[in-house]
Structure 1
Amino acid sequence: MLKALTSAGEAAVRLTHNAAALLLAIATLLVFVQVVTRFVLGDAAVWSELVARGAIIWSTFLVAGAAFRAGTMIPIDFIRSLLPAPIQLWVVRLVTLLTLIFLGVLVWYGILMAGRAQSQRVAMLDVSMAVFYAAIPFGALCAIPGVLLRHRDAERGSLHDEEIHE
């Protein structure tokens, strides 16, 4: 059962990481289209800027799970390294708990915010603003497996020795 959950978590992290990369590529292409239409054709495609902005917002929130999984979020290694080895793992546990609470708050309030923006429309695209705001709760929810997998590694002591047991 635990192996299946781990595999599902790893798959979710890979999926969101790849989706974020694809959205970033799309945003790059759309910015190029914006530049071409503005400076070559003399008639800017305003919609491309809005869609590119949305793609960047979504890619930022989607990649959070992969960043947590890889341990590339802002670390507190310095503070942790000042503590005795037995306490260091408790610091990791506390940070994991606080991170999960923060992600839960993002999910909850992100859903509320997207709900409030449901009736607002993006003029150039004729879509709801909720499409953009939904990136917050969705990305936070998708980040949870990355946090849990990273924490599992810390509990098993399989992170780099200098990260947990200095």
Structure 2
Amino acid sequence: MKYVEAFAEGVVQLAHNLAALLLAVATGLVFFQVVTRFGLGHAAGWSEILARGLIIWSTLLVAAAGFRLGAMIPIDFIRSLLPPRAQIWVIRLVTLLTLVFLAVLVWQGWSMTLRVQAQRVAMMGTSMSWFYAAIPLGALMAIPGVLLRHVDQERERP
């Protein structure tokens, strides 16, 4: 179990670090876009599109860390009204529903990625599937975060 948890933590850390790197690159691209548009008088349109894609990727990748850290907005009020024994079952249900949702994102996201393979990104000429691939990969990398958080909650219960 220790190795599985270490692997899952590694996946979450990788997703978190990749998201930070992509966000930094997107910030640089937006700065470049402003300089070329207002400083040079000719905008580099591709930089705006690429920055948008990188922000989408970073948002979906950082979900893994968000789930792991418990940073998603919980509805604790309803759970706090329940007795402790029922609370853990609510946590289990929420974890199960979250995993089902992420599985649907992986499945449908992959389907969408394949469906848009022939579509090209304007001003870049690359396949639109590179942007859509963030959906299944981000959801897949979020699953270990959900499971690790759930294991922590199970260990914390009285």
- Decide: shared fold, TM above 0.5: yes
* Correspondence for 1:68: 67
Q: Which segments of 5 or more consecutive residues in structure 1 lack a partner in the other structure?
A: 158-163
SS of aligned partner of 1:138:
helix
- Deviations for 1:41-80, whole angstroms, at most 9, x for unmatched residues? 0000001001100100000000001000000112021111
Say whether 1:131 aligns with 2:123: no
* Correspondence for 2:26: 27
SS of aligned partner of 2:74:
coil
Normalising by structure 2, we get a TM-score of 0.98
Distance in 1 between residues matched to 2:56 and 2:25, nearest whole Å = 12
Say whether 1:58 aligns with 2:57: yes
Alpha-carbon deviation of 1:130?
0.5
Distance in 2 between residues matched to 1:116 and 1:6, nearest whole Å = 34
SS of aligned partner of 1:119:
coil
Alpha-carbon deviation of 1:152?
0.3
Structure 1 stretches of at least 4 aligned residues deviating more than 4 Å after TM superposition: none
Letter in 2 for 1:128: S
Q: How does 1:1-166 map to 2 (within 5 A)?
A: 2-157=1-156
Distance in 1 between residues matched to 2:118 and 2:143, nearest whole Å = 29
Q: CA RMSD for the aligned pairs?
A: 0.9
Distance in 2 between residues matched to 1:14 and 1:42, nearest whole Å = 41
Alpha-carbon deviation of 1:123?
2.5
How many matched pairs? Answer: 158
